[in-house]
Amino acid sequence: MLFSPVETSLAAVLPCFRIYNEVGDYIVKNQVKDINPYQSWIDKYGGDEFKESVIKAIAICDEFAEKSFFKEEMTDAFLYSSRMEWMFWDSAYRMETWPV
């Protein structure tokens, strides 16, 4: 089993916070107000309450990074996770299905 320092793990989950907030904000600003089966998701991730969570998550990660000996690993984890988030959203945008 592979173990990582806590600061590397924090950096790895940070893109999820940031990207979900960006996507939620974008949808809130551009949605057509109608019956939407995803409205609760939009309200959660596009709202001010989640934005506060994102700000706190960034601050916590930054605080750990300041004292860390693993800054390069943190950066690598953040970039890798960001790529995975992009692939997730891109596959949804292109309406990909799971390979059979």
Residues 27-55: tens digit of each pLDDT: 888 888 778 888 888 888 988 899 999 99
Domain residue limits at 45: 6-30+37-93
Residue 36 CB partners (closer than 8 Å, separation 6+): 42
CATH code assigned at 80: 1.20.910.10
Sign of CA dihedral 84, 85, 89, 90: negative
Q: What percent of the chain has pLDDT over 70?
A: 98
Q: Does any domain span residue 12?
A: yes
85 carries an active-site annotation: yes
Q: In the structure, what pLDDT confidence band is assigned to residue 1 with cuts at 50, 70 and 90?
A: very low
The count of domains in the chain is 1
In a domain, 99, yes or no: no
- Asked if residue 59 is part of any domain, the answer here is yes
Predicted confidence at residue 79, as pLDDT, reads 97
Whether the CB-CB separation of 26 and 94 falls below 8 Å is answered with no
Segment 19-34 mean pLDDT: 88
61 is catalytic: no
pTM of the model: 0.82
